[in-house]
A and B are shown apart, each in its own frame.
Chain A
Amino acid sequence: MRLRWRKTVNKVMLAATGVCTLISISALFVILAYLLINGTKSLDWNFFTQLPKATGEAGGGMANAILGTLEIVGLASVMGIPIGFMAGVYLAEFEDKAFGAVVRYTADLLNGVPSIIVGILAWTLVVVGMRHFSAFAGSVALAVMLIPIVTRQTEQFLREVPMSLREGALALGASKWKMIATVVVPAGSKGVVTGMILGVARIAGETAPLLFTALNNQFWGGLNQPTASLPVMIYNRAISPYEDWHRQAWAAGLVLIAMVLIANIAARLVLARGISVPRG
């Protein structure tokens, strides 16, 4: 009797964990399905080539937001990736005990800071100084988010490079920096590049830090002007009362998620092939 009860509990609970998994996974498919259905209905060629129409007017596109996102994210990558990469090399190869620990801790801390607070930082540093909103301010905010991600990923993947490779290079008489530049970094490059792609994909979808740095714009904008971006456009259109703007929000959502997911899946596939240890 007691055994039967225990066996029943066993079955019920194990089944329940399966149901939990099913619900979790189906969330992804429900989200993707909704975006595909609503997004493809609204997506047309104008979306990619035209500027937004005046408030409430139907039609138009988001060419400026697509370009703006590329601008803001591109500039953020140019600023953030080198800094993060070099800091990661320091942590993996040159680490002093105390300072290395401080940098590692602060990188993790910065990684956990809510993005809206990073927006406040960029606002005080750039917007207040320049006295106007600009794509550059948005890039600074995104770069601050990108740096700790790239730092920790670079460190992690350089550490996975086998010690024997380093010893081989040193034994051949290479100096340490030459060893890092010609052996360690090339060997860990796949992982490091994967980390960078994932980092850029993550900041590309960020909205909160752009709200009061890059702001928004009906027109093309520019590095020194308020500039539209896809995430801010989605937010702006979604909370508007206009039917046609909702349609555009779905289209923009589909484009954004396609960019982010393709980057994620591509990065995973590159990584799946593992550390690129030079042979022969």
Chain B
Amino acid sequence: MAAPQVAGIPRAAKVVQPGDVAARLLTMLFAAIVFLLVVLLVFELWVGSAASRQKFGWGFITSTAWNPVTDEFGALPFIYGTVVTSVVALLISIPLGVGAAIFLSELAPAGPSNALTFLVELLAAIPSVIYGLLAIFTLVPIMRLYIEPFLKATLGFLPIFQGPAFGVGYLTAGIILAIMTFPFIISVSREALLAVPREQREAALALGATKWEATWDVVVPYAKLGIYGSIFLGLARALGETMAVTMVVGNSPEVRASLLAPGYSIAAVIANEFSEASGSVRPAALVELGLVLFFLTIVINALARLLIIATTSKGSKRP
């Protein structure tokens, strides 16, 4: 090994040994694999959907056709179902998640708060097929027998709560998705709330605010970007969630106003039809649906990350 024979002390950074170059190139090669996988993914989705993109063009997005016999395919019922179930999920999980995050960061002492957060995070580790299993055998009957008839009886004048109660449908899928998304909202929102400087709380309390006023009017606005970030993170998960939705959404490729009606989602139709799709157009249409879902989730994920980074850097800059 050619150690530098220079008088004086060589700086560590300048001592480049052959092994270092090799190690650097080797690890860089593996890092390049990560990058190449994403390139490959986009490439395969693009090429795989070529037949469908050429046949349907942009009309694919707005068409409601799904007919394997005549090879007519459109994405609208699936995009609609994906968005509706995710919105229902967020309507439930945002108040629940942000509320719990406030409790865990502002009221609970550190020890119990960490323990409870660990339990909530375990929810995120449960495989989605298990959520689906529970939903089929417990949630669906409860929805059919109690909740949906109740909604029809009380709010049935609204178009979103009309039609027969099947138990499966947008609403049931949304509720399951809510349970799957709030662990993310709680965990990330809590971090954002804990990052708010103590002085902010103390100043508000010193001015005579009650605990709730200090929290809601001072602490929560201070952490709001991180909370938005957590919501987008939950949304990205809800949009791409497959198994639990497939098992309870009803799998009916139509656009319906009622939340009680059975619908479909992008991920669910790929899961159900991909392995038996034959011909050239049908697999391509399914891959194009995958492409649409891919773009939806990366945009939402990027937004989430930007917002979360913005809060963590903001905390240190403010006086």
Q: Is the interface of A mostly helix, strand, loop or mixed?
A: helix
B21-43 interface with A by 8 A CB criterion: 22-24, 26-35, 37-38, 40-41
Of all chain A residues, which has the CB nearest B25?
Answer: A94
- Cβ of A223 < 8 Å from any Cβ of B? no
Inter-chain contact B99/A144, CB cutoff 8 Å: no
B118 in complex: contacting residue of A109, A198, A268, CB < 8 Å: A268
Cβ of B146 within 8 Å of any chain A Cβ, yes or no, is no
- The residue in chain A whose Cβ has the minimal distance to the Cβ of B138 is A34
A120-B270 contact given A94-B27, A112-B298, A113-B294, CB 8 Å threshold:
yes
Q: Residue on B with the closest CB to A246? A: B137
For residue B213, CB closer than 8 A to chain A, the reply is: yes
> Which of chain A's residues have a CB closer than 8 A to the CB of B302?
109
**Contact partners of A78 in chain B: CB under 8 A:** none
Give the distance in Å from the alpha carbon of A99 to the alpha carbon of B29 in the complex: 11
Known: A14-B211, A144-B37. A21 touches B116 (CB 8 A): yes
Q: Which residues from B are CB-within-8-Å of A204?
A: 127
Closest A residue to B304 using CB positions: A112
A238-B247, A257-B130 known; A28-B119 Cβ under 8 A: yes
Q: Does B207 contact A (CB under 8 A)?
A: no
Measured CB to CB, the closest approach of chain B to A258, in angstroms, equals 11
A46 at the interface (CB under 8 A from B): no
Listed stretches A53-61, A100-108, A187-195; interface member: A100-108
A13 to B122, CA, bound (A): 27
The answer, yes or no, to whether B133 is at the interface (CB within 8 Å) is yes
Indicate whether A31 sits within 8 Å of B129 (C-beta atoms), given known contacts A87-B31, A117-B41, A124-B44.
Answer: no
> What does DSSP make chain B's interface, helix, strand, loop or mixed?
helix
User: Closest chain B residue to A82 by CB distance?
Assistant: B30
> Within residues 70 to 100 of chain B, which ones have a CB less than 8 A from any CB in chain A?
95-100
When chains A and B are docked, how far (Å) is the Cα of A208 from the Cα of B268? Answer: 9
Instruction: Encode contact with A along B112-156: 1 for CB under 8 Å, 0 otherwise.
Output: 000010111011011111111110111000000000000000000
Within 8 A of B (CB), among A1-47: 6-7, 9-10, 13-14, 16-21, 23-25, 27-28, 31, 34-35, 38
Chain B hits for A115, CB < 8 A: 240, 242
Decide: B100 and A17 in contact? CB cutoff 8 A: yes
Q: Does B133 lie within 8 Å of A253, measured CB to CB?
A: yes
Check A31–B134 contact: CB distance below 8 A: yes
**Is the CB of A86 closer than 8 A to any CB of chain B?**
yes
Residues of chain A lying within 8 A (CB to CB) of residue B131: 31
Contact B45 A117 (CB under 8 A): yes
**Given the complex of chains A and B, what is the CA–CA distance between A176 and B48 in angstroms?**
44
| Known contacts A24-B186, A120-B287, A110 near B38 by CB under 8 Å | yes
Are B270 and A116 within 8 A (Cβ)? yes
**A256 contacts B34, CB within 8 Å?**
no
Cβ contact within 8 Å between B134 and A117: no
* Also in contact, A113 and B240, with CB within 8 A (given A20-B100, A24-B97): yes
Q: Give Cα A10–Cα B131 distance, bound, in whole angstroms.
A: 36
- Confirm or deny: B262 has a beta carbon within 8 angstroms of a beta carbon on chain A: no
Of the 9-residue stretches B101-109, B223-231, B310-318, which lies at the interface with chain A?
A: B101-109
What would be 20 A-B contacts, judged by CB atoms less than 8 Å apart?
Answer: A21-B103, A24-B123, A24-B183, A24-B186, A28-B119, A86-B30, A90-B27, A90-B30, A94-B23, A103-B31, A110-B41, A116-B293, A119-B270, A120-B290, A133-B275, A151-B31, A205-B126, A235-B129, A235-B243, A257-B127
List 5 other contacts, CB 8 Å, given A93-B27, A113-B240, A116-B267: A94-B28, A144-B37, A204-B127, A257-B127, A265-B122
